[in-house]
Every structure is written in C-alpha cells, then in structure tokens.
C-alpha cells in the first residue's frame, strides 16, 4: 500500500507543469525505464489484490474441510448425514434432523416469499405508473438491510405468541421460522425479479397487445416466460439466503433436534445447530459442527452453481 502511494507521488512531482513536458522518445531512458517498472509493479500488486476474493474462498473451503472432514470420514456418511441421532456427549453426530429442518424452513420461506414477491414485482412493473413503482421499489430495497436479528425479534414477540394461541404447540416452530425468513428474503426477491421483468423488451408486450391479448394475458403468457430465467435466479438467490440465515431462525424455530411432522413443530436448522453449540463445543463435537458447516457449504455451492447457470441462460 505504502509503496503504491509513493509511486503516485513521484509521478505527480515529475509532471507538475503539465502532461506535455514528458521526455521525448529515447530522451531519458532512465525515466522511461522507471515508468515501465512502476507500471509493471502496479499491475502485479493489483493482480495480487484481485486474487483476494478467490484466496479467501479457498481458505474458507480448506479450513472448514480440514476441521470437519475427519469426523465425516470416521463416522461415515451413514452415521453423519443419514442418521437423526444427535447426541454429542455420547459421540453420536447424526444431522439428518437438521437437514430436514433446513429444508422445511427454506421450503416454507419460499412458499411465503415467492407468491408475495413475484406478485409485487409484477404489479409494480406492469400495472403501476412509473413514479410510484420506483418509489416503492426504493422503499423495499431500503428495508433489505434490516439486521436479521431484528426480524427474528419481531417474530419472537409478535408471531410466536400468535401461533401459540391460534394453532397451539410451543409457537416456536417451522411456521414461525418460515414466515420470518420469507419476509426477510422478500426485498431481495421483489427487487431482482422486478429487474428481470423490466428487462423484457417493450416490443414483446406491444406484439402481444396487438394480437388482442389483455394486459394480464400479456403478462403471464409473454412477459413472465421471457423473464423466466431471471425470476428463477431471484428465487434461487432468496433460497440461498434462507438456507444460510442463522440468527433469525435461531430465535424463532425452537431448535429441538426433531424431524418436523407438522408446521407447528419446533425444528433446528443446520445453521442454528452451529450457532447454538459452537460456544462450548470441543474435540469431536466441534469437528461435527464444522462438518455441519461442510454440508451447508455444499448446499450453498450447489445453489450458487444453479443460479449462475440460470443467469447465464438469460444472456
């Protein structure tokens, strides 16, 4: 960093009268050589910077695997991924119930967020004047940054008692987690699918209207089909966020290690399993939590790959 700054200062001083006073070709070999060296150095440093993200990803993958893989190997897939028996003190680490929990909660979140989000996106892009639509989109995007702990808290003080009183059970449940997560990923889904719908060329709509279709027929037979891959990408990104969310789920899902049979059952997800027990885990138990992280990581990477594939197909 410091080195880069000093190059720049040297350039400035040399060029102070203006860019025209540069040495003519072959005029000063040392100056040209130094400049070439500076450029070469800058490029190499920027290249190293550019490797930061991929290095970070590689480090994360390496350390999570390094910490978690031994236990998967020693317990086998059978005893780890396909078992529902999670008893860390007895050395049994089956995470099937947590996988089921993550799947249930993510499915529930999508059931809440996809209809609402897609519906809003269509209404705002196709049936709303431009000004108000933009304003509402901005409002929705503004809310995308609300910390997940706040979503979880509202779920805890509003939704959980409501579910307990109306549907019975402990209140802390698949349903509570699904609604909280669903609302949480709504801004992302609305914003990305609005972009996808807006990217459909106006001529498609005009063509369809000219053939005598109503606006709605145009929307669901032409626009939605043309925007399909963008919408799929929006949904998958929302899904990734729902699978990976920790704090909000931790606060409202109840966290019992059970395969849920109804939406009012409490569940524990992969993420909350890590967050709950990391504080005191040691030895094999800690390895098992890292192994839970591996499973989560694999899930997310698959979703990322699908999302990348969907958005490549769009262009």
Partner 1 sequence: MFSAKTEQAIAKSLLWLCTGLTIMALVFIVGFVLVHGLPGLNLSFLTEQPRRMGKEGGVFPFVVATLHMTGLAILIAAPLGVGTAIYLTEYTRESKLTVVIRSGADCLAGVPSIIFGLFGFVFFVIRLKLGWSMLSGGLTLALMVLPTIIRTSEEAIRAVPRAYRDVAFGLGSTRWQMVTRVILPSALPGILTGVILSIGRSVSETAAVMLTAGSSLKAPLSPLDPGRNLAYHFYILATEGISKSNAYRTAAVLILAILLINFSAYWLMRRFVARRS
Scanning residues 72 to 111, which ones bind partner 1 (CB under 8 A)? none
Cα atoms found within 13 Å of the Cα of residue 87, Cβ hemisphere only: 4
CA distance 8 to 19: 15
How big is the CA angle at 148 (ends 142 and 151), to the nearest 5 degrees? 85
Which residue, 244 or 260, has its beta carbon nearer to partner 1? 244
Instruction: Report the residue from 94, 244, 254, 266 that binds partner 1 according to the rule CB under 8 A.
Output: 244
**By the rule CB under 8 A, 50 interacts with partner 1:** yes
**By the rule CB under 8 A, 225 interacts with partner 1:** no
Of residues 145 through 164, those in contact with partner 1 by CB under 8 A are 145-154, 156, 158
Tell me the H-state helices in 81-95: none
Instruction: Report the residue from 106, 120, 178, 193 that binds partner 1 according to the rule CB under 8 A.
Output: 120
Minimum distance of partner 1 from residue 249's CB (angstroms): 10
Q: At what angle do helices 96-126 and 270-277 cross, to 10 degrees?
A: 120
Which residue, 53 or 210, has its beta carbon nearer to partner 1? 53
**By the rule CB under 8 A, 171 interacts with partner 1:** no
Please report which helix (H) or strand (E) contains residue 209, including its range: helix 202-210
Of residues 263 through 302, those in contact with partner 1 by CB under 8 A are 271, 274-275, 278, 289-290, 293, 296-297, 300-301
**CB–CB of 263/173 below 8 Å?**
yes
Instruction: Report the residue from 2, 9, 17, 19 that binds partner 1 according to the rule CB under 8 A.
Output: 19
Residue 119's nearest CA partner among 180, 182, 212 is: 182
Minimum distance of partner 1 from residue 10's CB (angstroms): 11
CA distance 246 to 150: 12
């Amino acid at each position: 960093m410091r080195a880069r700054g000093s190059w720049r200062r040297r350039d400035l001083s040399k060029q102070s009268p203006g860019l025209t006073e540069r040495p003519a070709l072959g005029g000063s070999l040392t100056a040209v050589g130094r400049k070439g060296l500076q450029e070469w150095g800058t490029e190499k440093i920027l290249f190293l910077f550019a490797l930061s993200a991929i290095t970070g990803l590689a480090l994360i993958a390496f350390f999570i695997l390094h910490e978690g893989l031994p236990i998967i190997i020693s317990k086998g897939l059978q005893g780890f991924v396909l078992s529902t028996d999670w008893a860390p003190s007895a050395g049994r680490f089956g995470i099937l119930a947590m996988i089921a929990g993550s799947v249930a909660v993510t499915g529930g979140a999508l059931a809440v967020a996809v209809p609402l989000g897609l519906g809003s996106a269509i209404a705002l892009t196709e049936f709303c004047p431009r000004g108000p639509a933009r304003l509402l989109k901005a409002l929705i995007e503004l809310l995308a940054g609300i910390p997940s702990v706040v979503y979880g808290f509202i779920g805890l003080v509003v939704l959980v008692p409501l579910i307990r009183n109306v549907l019975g059970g402990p209140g802390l449940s698949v349903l509570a987690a699904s609604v909280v997560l669903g609302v949480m990923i709504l801004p992302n889904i609305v914003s990305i699918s609005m972009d996808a719908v807006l990217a459909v060329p106006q001529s498609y709509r005009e063509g369809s209207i000219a053939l005598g279709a109503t606006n709605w027929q145009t929307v669901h037979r032409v626009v939605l089909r043309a925007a399909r891959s963008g919408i799929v990408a929006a949904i998958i990104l929302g899904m990734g966020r729902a699978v990976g969310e920790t704090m909000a789920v931790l606060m409202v899902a109840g966290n019992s290690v059970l395969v849920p049979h109804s939406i009012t059952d409490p569940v524990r997800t992969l993420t909350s399993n890590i967050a709950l027990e990391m504080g005191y885990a040691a030895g094999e138990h800690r390895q098992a939590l890292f192994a839970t992280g591996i499973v989560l990581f694999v899930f997310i990477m698959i979703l990322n790959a699908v999302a990348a594939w969907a958005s490549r197909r769009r262009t």
